[in-house]
Chain A
């Protein structure tokens, strides 16, 4: 099995157990770098696939919560290299497939070939790059493909149908369906026509579809779960970490 196929397998296993897949997002090294592995293990036990946010100085698609966590992690010295070193140190101890969410520049600075090599060794299965549209992605995709790693495409309610088809075909691991037209952690509730949109994306995709943005409570996870294979929980979980509450209990509460 290639690394990116582990993601789909984990989501399918959750669906087979009669529930939506749960994809917790944490900013790596937040709130304390020394607690990174403990936090990661806790969310990996409660979630099916874990999204690791790589801190960046200019998180232009993120709202205040994730911006704050990103700046704080950077201030405390978290870097991509540090994250890989940490992951190497717990090799084989985390079952859930890991996906890295990073803006492009830290990946570019790291170098794509070395990135793919270290990611594969560290148990990372795929990448989400919010500022890398399909048109600019050939070089990174090639480096990841060569090692069986997935480049996960985002689609949004504003994506025209033809483009939606292209993105669904290009995506590896899962298709990230952004639920709202906005940034992460916005106050808006899930849109009324969410079901139609998710059904449309699912109809075009041969791999699992996971919904993210604006998912904060058990009812959101349930609503999304009827029309997608998984739910991504980011800002709401980072807020829990910010308040030093138990991330695992919070994630378990989301599955009702």
Chain B
């Protein structure tokens, strides 16, 4: 895809992105993005866009959002040096600890921001979709915090493999609706949330969980997640004495990756997004959208998607529910096409191994999604010894216990060895 633009066009688009001029007025990141939605939702999207313009960067809203991040979410999250992982890999490894944020992942940054926005826009109820359940839990918590009822759509397959999160949503007062249509994972959950929104475009606020979907969502969610990279950038300077040589983040829809990368776009830092390689490179065996996909329109945006020659969207496979998605945020499509961010994939087995290694080396049980970033960073460290590596540790792995119990631990603690 990096050959999509001539070199000067790629530079022009990237410079515009670095200057903060993406998306443009029509919600485009270069050719990607836009707003492909049913006519019934157009007035709702116009209201949302106007609301984002009015409130998002207004001083009062920002003060409220920053206070909630500090006092309720627990930000700033730590930047942790990983000495034993560094020794194992022959690198200097730093972790941005989004797993320490309230509810256990970066998702809460976006959820509380949008819940505050929904309140300001006069919404009567909130709907959300969820894959791994982290966004569902974050939305349930954020809605409880601001006092709005919340309904979460979740694929039936995901409800089974992330059952602890289903219980958490219920405890937090949200209704969790099982989606039995389509592929019964994240993509079907988004379709179902959109269908529900169409029935009540006035009173309902759709709290989307990633940098996907129609404009202005990819922009709105990026702005709310950029706090990850803003903090990490300063913490690297303060604690490590310099910016990293390379930064890694896992990519499903791509919100934690955009959050980490966006504030680093103008810096001399290699940026690497890691998708789910599943069990192999064949269509349907993975969720490596940017590696193997082609341009098309899915769920409201023109982006890179996994599809067949007839434009039918393909089902995906990943051991991690949060990466199991056939599309990707349109800004990632642009960042790949301009060559600024490199996208790789890590297979299920490599992710599981990385998860075990991190547990043993640093005492951190990371999420299966996040484990993909560790697997790719380890490979990078092998080929580039001695580098300073920053990894977006996007969430904790407690929710993955039902999956992990199927795989007996292979590594015992190094302490006794």
> Would you call B42 and A159 a contact (CB within 8 A)?
yes
C-alpha gap A56/B202 in the complex (Å): 28
C-alpha gap A7/B122 in the complex (Å): 43
Residues of chain A lying within 8 A (CB to CB) of residue B300:
131
Is A136 an interface residue, CB under 8 A from the partner? yes
Is A135 an interface residue, CB under 8 A from the partner? yes
Tally of chain B residues near chain A (CB < 8 A):
35
Is B37 an interface residue, CB under 8 A from the partner? yes
> Would you call A104 and B182 a contact (CB within 8 A)?
no
Is A240 an interface residue, CB under 8 A from the partner? no
C-alpha gap A63/B311 in the complex (Å): 21
> Would you call A58 and B191 a contact (CB within 8 A)?
yes
| Mask: chain B, 191-224; 1 = CB below 8 Å from A; 0 = not | 1001100111110000000000000000000000
Interface residues on A, range: 35 or more
C-alpha gap A79/B297 in the complex (Å): 17
> Would you call A178 and B182 a contact (CB within 8 A)?
no
> Would you call A133 and B35 a contact (CB within 8 A)?
yes
Closest Cβ of chain B: how far from A56's Cβ, in Å? 7
> Would you call A60 and B299 a contact (CB within 8 A)?
yes
With both beta carbons as reference points, the residue of chain A lying nearest to B192 in the complex is identified as A60
> Would you call B191 and A136 a contact (CB within 8 A)?
no
> Would you call B195 and A105 a contact (CB within 8 A)?
no
> Would you call B307 and A58 a contact (CB within 8 A)?
no
Closest Cβ of chain A: how far from B403's Cβ, in Å? 26
C-alpha gap A155/B38 in the complex (Å): 10
Is A15 an interface residue, CB under 8 A from the partner? no
Is B40 an interface residue, CB under 8 A from the partner? yes
> Would you call B39 and A154 a contact (CB within 8 A)?
yes
Is A107 an interface residue, CB under 8 A from the partner? yes
Is A33 an interface residue, CB under 8 A from the partner? no
Say yes or no: A160-B43 contact (C-beta < 8 A), given A58-B298, A181-B198, A181-B201.
Answer: yes
Q: Which of B38, B43, B191 is within 8 Å of A130, CB to CB?
A: B38
> Would you call B310 and A80 a contact (CB within 8 A)?
yes
Say yes or no: A186-B199 contact (C-beta < 8 A), given A60-B299, A130-B38, A159-B42.
Answer: yes
Q: Which of B35, B194, B305 is within 8 Å of A135, CB to CB?
A: B35
> Would you call B36 and A104 a contact (CB within 8 A)?
yes
C-alpha gap A186/B181 in the complex (Å): 16
> Would you call B26 and A178 a contact (CB within 8 A)?
no
Q: Which of A71, A158, A163 is within 8 Å of B40, CB to CB?
A: A158
C-alpha gap A142/B199 in the complex (Å): 32
C-alpha gap A160/B46 in the complex (Å): 11
> Would you call B297 and A57 a contact (CB within 8 A)?
no
Is A13 an interface residue, CB under 8 A from the partner? no
Is A74 an interface residue, CB under 8 A from the partner? yes
Say yes or no: A109-B307 contact (C-beta < 8 A), given A57-B313, A61-B198, A67-B181.
Answer: yes
C-alpha gap A155/B311 in the complex (Å): 26
Closest Cβ of chain B: how far from A232's Cβ, in Å? 15
Is A108 an interface residue, CB under 8 A from the partner? yes
| Mask: chain B, 291-325; 1 = CB below 8 Å from A; 0 = not | 00000111110000101011111100000000000
C-alpha gap A210/B199 in the complex (Å): 21
> Would you call B42 and A163 a contact (CB within 8 A)?
yes
Say yes or no: A57-B200 contact (C-beta < 8 A), given A109-B311, A136-B36, A160-B43.
Answer: no
Say yes or no: A181-B199 contact (C-beta < 8 A), given A58-B299, A71-B182, A131-B36.
Answer: yes
Residues of chain B lying within 8 A (CB to CB) of residue A107:
311
With both beta carbons as reference points, the residue of chain B lying nearest to A154 in the complex is identified as B39
Say yes or no: A56-B195 contact (C-beta < 8 A), given A105-B307, A181-B201.
Answer: no
Is A37 an interface residue, CB under 8 A from the partner? no
Is B187 an interface residue, CB under 8 A from the partner? yes
Is B133 an interface residue, CB under 8 A from the partner? no
With both beta carbons as reference points, the residue of chain A lying nearest to B202 in the complex is identified as A158
Is B131 an interface residue, CB under 8 A from the partner? no
Closest Cβ of chain A: how far from B32's Cβ, in Å? 13
Residues of chain B lying within 8 A (CB to CB) of residue A153:
39
Closest Cβ of chain A: how far from B287's Cβ, in Å? 15
Is A203 an interface residue, CB under 8 A from the partner? no
Residues of chain A lying within 8 A (CB to CB) of residue B313:
57-58, 105
Is B34 an interface residue, CB under 8 A from the partner? yes
Q: What are 28 A-B pairs at a CB distance below 8 A?
A: A56-B311, A57-B313, A58-B182, A59-B191, A60-B38, A60-B194, A61-B198, A62-B195, A64-B181, A67-B182, A71-B182, A80-B311, A104-B297, A105-B296, A105-B307, A105-B311, A105-B312, A106-B312, A109-B296, A131-B297, A131-B300, A132-B36, A158-B43, A158-B201, A159-B43, A163-B43, A178-B40, A182-B199
Spell out B's residues near A (CB within 8 Å).
26, 34-40, 42-44, 181-182, 187, 191, 194-195, 198-202, 296-300, 305, 307, 309-314
10 further contact pairs, Cβ within 8 A, besides A79-B310, A130-B38, A133-B39: A58-B298, A60-B195, A71-B182, A105-B305, A109-B309, A132-B36, A135-B26, A181-B200, A183-B195, A183-B199
